[in-house]
Amino acid sequence: MDRIIIKGGNRLEGKICISGAKNAALTLLPCALLTDEPLTLRNLPRLADVDSFAHLLNQLGVSTTVEGARPNEFGRVMTLRASSITSTVAPYDIVRKMRASVLVLGPLVARAGEATVSLPGGCAIGMRPVDLHLKALEALGAELEIAAGYVKARAPDGGLRGGTIRFPFVSVGATENALMAAVLAKGETVIENAAREPEITDLAKCLIAMGAEIEGLRTDTLTVHGKDRLHGATYAVMPDRIEAGSYACAAMITGGSLVLEGARKETMPSILSGLEDAGAIVEDVRGGLKVSADGAIRPLSISTAPFPAFPTDMQAQFMAMLARAEGTSLLTETIFENRYMHVPELQRMGAEIEVRGRAAVVRGVDRLVGAQVMATDLRASMSLVLAGLAAEGETQVHRVYHLDRGYERLEEKLQGVGADIERVSDG
Ligand code: UD1
């Protein structure tokens, strides 16, 4: 298993290219199921999750070809073609490793009339049920049967029909499944209390490029006029706002300055205002954003919530940064019930953090010290890397495979801006 070894203390300065967004990629890939024509996705990040998703699609009969996989190039181009769907089953083995696999449900039922998808079960950060995904499909006329850990969904004769989907609370994945199903349903579908995350807008834009008719982009009500068929398209995945935010925290925690090439300001309003409140200077530069530390890190009070509020996927990285703030911060996690697994690891490095239910009180300390720490999930792992960059001495981050799911060429990108970081393989 690989480890990442960081010798902390270097001030980071330079330019980092922001990759295509993992969470956008994982909802754009299943769009290929909605048409028999080719869908070409550009700017796909090279990540383990993207490969796993392509593998799942292959099992369903989708062909995938990759170009642009030159060693020094960021981003890949993948052409996916579901000329015919040869299987409608997403097995447990794949879904348990990657929850986002559940996003084949909507498109499979819409195009093939049926899908059998393993229920994902809980994961490291919480229960994460998929009841809202299922309710959305029911609202479009699908019949559901749950047995032996699988959901079997079947469209009525004549296919899915438009309807009104009212989500009781915001779910990114359920909105994505609803949207991908509704584009091929007969008549009009209204999705109320839809997630407004930029990845949802990216999905809607890709579907529109494929011939779908969707109104209300960027709002919490999406109206879809169903089509009999969609066609092929070429679409570029949006830049990863969470990766950009993570490197912005790296600039802050090392007292440095980084240009985040490709980062899009409008996709990260609360991340940027949080950084500015913590004392960062954020500037628009050609093709991206520049984030620079300006003196001490100031403490913050932040609550996670659906977009445009502060994303849960940035909570751990901000916590690492605030561990070095001058003063006491309060973080509140409202989305997932168990998303503080990085806390004991950060404590091993000298951070003073106290968790009280959904709240975490972070008392800033003068110094963090390198230690052996264990990555527990993707964003938690990044918080350990950030702490390692600022810590005195050596930090070893174990279970690096979590990072590989969501950060493209992490060590390379950080080395390029002055970090002392390397990956070692224990064979
Ligand atoms: C997506 C993101 C993830 C991010 C999360 C919240 C992807 C691949 N993942 O996950 O990185 O942290 O949004 O921004 O895009 N819930 C239910 N029932 C459901 C669905 C969700 O109770 O049917 C709950 C979840 O347990 C959670 C909350 O709703 O507490 C929000 O989850 P959701 O927005 O659905 O997250 P994901 O789409 O799984």
Q: Whose CA is nearest to atom 5 of ligand 1?
A: 172
Q: Which of 171, 243, 268, 337 to mutate to test the pocket of ligand 1 (most atoms within 8 A of CB)?
A: 171
More confident residue, 399 or 197: 197
Let me know: does 260 contact 244? Beta carbons within 8 Å.
yes
Distance 198 CA to ligand 1 centre (A): 14
Statement: residue 234 has pLDDT above 90: yes
Model confidence, pTM: 0.97
Burial 78-115 (b: 16+ CB within 10 A, else e): bbbbbeebeebbbebebbeebbbbbbbbbbbbbbbbbb
131 ligand 1 Cβ < 6 A: yes
Statement: residue 71 has pLDDT above 70: no
337 ligand 1 Cβ < 6 A: no
Question: Is 123 marked active-site?
Answer: yes
Distance 15 CA to ligand 1 centre (A): 32
Residue 426 has a pLDDT of: 78
314 ligand 1 Cβ < 6 A: no
Distance 257 CA to ligand 1 centre (A): 32
Statement: residue 72 has pLDDT above 90: no
Any idea of the CA torsion for 418, 24, 123, 183, to the nearest 10 degrees? Answer: 180
State the DSSP code for 31.
G
Identify any residues that bridge with 15 across adjacent strands, giving them in sequence order.
259
Burial 328-352 (b: 16+ CB within 10 A, else e): ebebbbbbbeebbbbbebbebbbbe
pLDDT digits (tens, 9 = 90+) for 30-64: 999 999 999 999 999 999 899 999 999 999 999 99
Percentage of the chain surpassing pLDDT 70? Answer: 96
pLDDT digits (tens, 9 = 90+) for 345-370: 999 999 999 999 999 999 999 999 99
240 ligand 1 Cβ < 6 A: no
Statement: residue 102 has pLDDT above 60: yes
Report the pLDDT averaged over residues 319-335.
97
Nearest to 104 by CA among 199, 177, 170: 177
130 ligand 1 Cβ < 6 A: yes
Query: Residue type at 9?
Result: G
Distance 215 CA to ligand 1 centre (A): 23
Distance, in Å, from the CA atom of 323 to the CA atom of 411, rounded to the nearest integer, reads 22
pLDDT digits (tens, 9 = 90+) for 108-164: 999 999 999 999 866 666 667 899 999 999 999 999 999 888 999 999 999 999 999
SS3 assignment for 62-128 = CEEEEECCCCCCCCEEEEEECCCCCCCEECHHHHCCCHHHHHHHHHHHHHHCEEEEECCCCECCECC
Statement: residue 274 has pLDDT above 90: yes
pLDDT digits (tens, 9 = 90+) for 170-228: 999 999 999 999 999 999 999 999 999 999 999 999 999 999 999 999 999 999 999 99
Distance 99 CA to ligand 1 centre (A): 10
Nearest to 142 by CA among 120, 109, 180: 109
Q: Whose CA is nearest to atom 7 of ligand 1?
A: 23
- Token pair recorded at residue 370: 């390198």
Distance, in Å, from the CA atom of 18 to the CA atom of 74, rounded to the nearest integer, reads 9
- DSSP-assigned letters across all residues of 359-392: EEEEE--S--B--EEE--SHHHHHHHHHHHHHSB
Report the pLDDT averaged over residues 80-90.
97
Residue 210 has a pLDDT of: 98
Q: Of 11-20, 114-123, 308-317, which range is least confident?
A: 114-123
Distance 172 CA to ligand 1 centre (A): 6
Alpha carbon of residue 394 to chain centroid: 29
Let me know: does 162 contact 186? Beta carbons within 8 Å.
yes
Q: Whose CA is nearest to atom 31 of ligand 1?
A: 171
Let me know: does 237 contact 76? Beta carbons within 8 Å.
no
26 ligand 1 Cβ < 6 A: yes
- DSSP-assigned letters across all residues of 268-292: -HHHHHHHHHTT-EEEEETTEEEEE
Ligand 1 atom at shortest distance from the alpha carbon of 23: 15
Residue carrying structure tokens 């300055």: 257
- Token pair recorded at residue 374: 């264990």
Statement: residue 401 has pLDDT above 90: no
Of 17, 31, 123, 249, the catalytic one is 123
Q: Which of 130, 165, 335 to mutate to test the pocket of ligand 1 (most atoms within 8 A of CB)?
A: 335
Burial 355-394 (b: 16+ CB within 10 A, else e): eeebebebebeeebbbbebbbbbbbbbbbbbbbbbbbeee
